[in-house]
A and B are shown apart, each in its own frame.
Chain A
Amino acid sequence: MKKDKRNIRRREQIHNKYKKATVDIFIKVLLVIGIIGLIFPLRPKMSDVEKRELTKFPKPTFETFMNGEFTSQISTWYADTFPFRETFMVADAKVKHLYGLNEEEIHGETVVADEIPEAGEVKASLEDEPEDGTLYVEPQKAGTIYVADNMGFELYGFSAQGATDYAAMLNNVAKKVGDDAVVYDIIAPTSIAVNLDEKIQKQIGSSNQREAFEYIEELLDDEVEWVPVLAVLKKHNSEYLYFKTDHHWTADGAYYAYQELMKKKGGKACKLSEYTKKEYEGFVGSFYSYSGQSETLLNNPDTVVTYTPQVNDMIYIDKSGNEQQGQVITDPTDYSEGNKYLCFIAGDESYSRIDNPNITDGSSCIIVKESYANAFVPFLVNSYGTVHVVDYRYYVGDLTEFVKENNIQDVIFLNNAHALTPKAVKKMNSIWG
């Protein structure tokens, strides 16, 4: 009995020591976190994964101070720029991976999509509102990402108004350039339409791109040359045509589109062997960030394959309006793992030009595009004396005039399926005088 009591007392004493240690450790860890949080030079300013500038320390005004906005901005800033934030975020994603079974994953909200209408059911709205001159770079909601088979897919939501407007815009441009040039239209399908069975596309709530493209094709006037690429990409879908971790196609995917364009033109496409092939490993693209850092994608990085054309020099106008020297293909080895797609034509610039002195027949084209065309443009360099590249989101000017002045024969539109929204189309339309 006595021994028992003594035992219990001993146990309690030891327990108390442990308790003291617990309190001690806890307070110390808390202090360490607090101190790390106070080392301002360690605070990151940019997020590579999220592709954004992190919150800046707020400037107080009397009003924001009084209504609590200032302090809430400080809280945002504090959390947003915490030292080693990206490391912590990756660790957090690892924890979240434990929430369930992950042979397939879905990230993001339900996709809101329109039914695909009959031709004539929807009226074009191009002229409805006055155009705005602001740059089209507002943030959008991340798409819904489906991960299966170690590959990410972005769900596609068809916009009936966007598609209708897109066709109307092309018809409009064809009228404006008249006999000066031929308008070609390439709509790049996204990986979901090429690599996933149509039935599964429907099941996960993604609109059918084949039907969407057919709808647009039907609305186009005869003056617009439609270049179909979905069927050929689908036929070759066992090849590496789309990145697993990024929403873009690979250069190999873009090459098939280039072939189809040349076929439509009645010209000859250069063989892949006429370009210098290089491979760069370790690309983890946008799907990784859109999916809230899916572990599966992080563990399956992509390889960027590039094909350098005969000429690798280009000039471009950067976003501040200055002319710069650049390269058609830049070695992305030193680029961060999320940025390797920028190796193609220096990323998205408002205007770029590539002259190929080996071609002296005076041929030239202009390509109106978003980033899908970046992997595509290098192929054109071997087929045209001059390639003009315009990113409609940043370009300001009058392309109708530009086509006339520069004697351009081919006007090529290259957009991916997701670009067919009323707002984007309005911007495309606004640069044609």
Chain B
Amino acid sequence: MLVFSLIFYSWAGPKYLILLLVMVFVSWICALIIEENQGTKWSRMFLIGDLVFMLGILGIFKYLKFFAGITHSVIGLPAEIPQIVLPVGISFYTFQLISYVVDVYRQEVKAQRKFSNLLLYASLFHQCIAGPIVRYQLVADEIEHRKVKMNEMWYGIKRFTVGLAKKAVLANGCASVADTLLPTVGKELAQVPAGGLFAGLLFYSLQIYLDFSAYSDMAIGMGRMIGFHYDENFNYPYIAKSIKDFWNRWHISLSTFFRDYVYIPLGGNRKGDRRRTINLFIVWSLTGFWHGASWNYIFWGLYFFVFVTLENKVLLSKLNKLPSAVGHVYAMTVVYFGWALFRSESLGNLRIIFKGMLGLGGNGFMNMPTLILLKNNIFLLIFCIAASTPLLKKLGLLIRKALCRVQNVPHVLYTCEAIEPVMLLLISFLSLIGNSYNPFLYFQF
């Protein structure tokens, strides 16, 4: 398993494997020393040392370019902005290793004696690239003793194929519409009519949820196949009734990470209102910044900070008195416009989008190509919206119940269940092959 994971990781470039090995090695040593010196100042020093090292590495690879860009434009130094390639999955495994060392320091888990086991934890092929961020506590036991059971294998396959199809068919389908309606080139973006921008952002919202949650589905599924149990990472965020609710449902492993390792150590809500707001401010800036080294992600984080703070102070108590639909509409509106921030790494594009949405882009509300494009994808849209809510799941349960009532042993149901993963696999396979479609255009006439 370890060897396989490492090969998988090296697929993105063997030189980053060295980085991974170094980071795991440092965490391994630090955790052991911390445990040996429990309660002394040494353990605290090694914890700090480890954190500085890990965040330092993450800072260099992920954020140096960003900061260099700022200092470059302010004081002209450095003269040349360094071009650093982001190693695959670094944001995820750095956080996993940090959580491990901190947990050892807090005596919540025992330090892992074997280097290879810790390496396996950090590099588990199915989750090290796109999450979820798995706590060491959760899998500590399973790293050493895990069993593959037929039942689990079956569930894993089901879960994995659902995730695969979600990504390959639904998310990629939404992405192609979103890319047409929200092109990244400013000049093209400025020609999209208001309705196109709204629709594009809707497709983008769906894409981002389906894509991200699909990765988690696949990771959870693959984990099950080989005997790991991970927590759910998404819980239908698009049915949330407030922003706080949304973040309890969205990328759960990330928000709990920030809660347990930043917010609560900073004092959480125990040190008065003002301190709480400051803590929230820090957490949300970091959350935004974690998503990418660019201003728009920070703004995106702070955007949520504003709403969460508002909710804490006044909004939530008022919302609770209103029908839940109001809260839902409010939360989705906030999230929806938030994705516009998330989408545009260039602030110029963001301006074009909002200006266009207000009808100031000079392109009217709708034009024929946009309308046709929407018609061509209308069923995809409806299906994706349904897939973002528990609707499909509930429907499935209903059918299941009905079938169970009709037949004592529901053979039909079981047969469908047996065919489903293969069908999903095949349809995803087609979709992925279709992706390589790339007509080569000679000077085209």
Contacts and interface: CB of A to CB of B under 8 A. Distances in A.
B15 A110 contact: no
Interface string A142-156: 111010000000010
Chain B, interface SS category: helix
Given A66-B13, A112-B191, A293 B437 contact: yes
A206 to B, nearest CB: 9
Interface stretch (B43-51, B122-130, B427-435): B427-435
B431 A204 contact: no
Interface in B204-230: none
Contacts of A16: 150-151
A96 B435 CA distance: 12
Contacts of B422: 25-26, 29
A91 to B, nearest CB: 5
Contacts of B150: 16, 19-20, 23
A11 B173 contact: no
B10 to A, nearest CB: 8
Interface in B227-266: none
Given A30-B425, A204-B369, A205-B368, A139 B441 contact: yes
Interface stretch (A97-105, A302-310, A378-386): A97-105
Contacts of A419: 445
B426 interface: yes
A140 interface: yes
A99 B445 contact: no
A15 interface: yes
Chain B, interface size category, equals: 35 or more
Given A26-B157, A110-B191, A79 B414 contact: no
Given A19-B151, A95-B431, 9 more contacts: A22-B154, A49-B439, A50-B440, A51-B440, A51-B442, A100-B381, A109-B180, A137-B442, A419-B445
Contacts of A18: 414-415, 417-418
Counting chain B CB atoms within 10 Å of each CB, the highest count among A21, A80, A99 belongs to: A99
Given A82-B433, A106-B376, A418-B445, A52 B183 contact: no
Interface in A38-68: 47, 49-52, 65-68
A333 interface: no
A424 interface: yes
Contact of B427 (A50, A95, A286): A95
Contacts of A93: 434
Contact of A247 (B380, B421, B425, B444): B444
B115 interface: no
A139 B442 contact: yes
Nearest to A190: B445
Given A21-B418, A247-B444, A424-B443, A144 B434 contact: no
Contacts of B362: none
A142 B441 contact: yes
Contact of B379 (A7, A52, A100, A109): A100
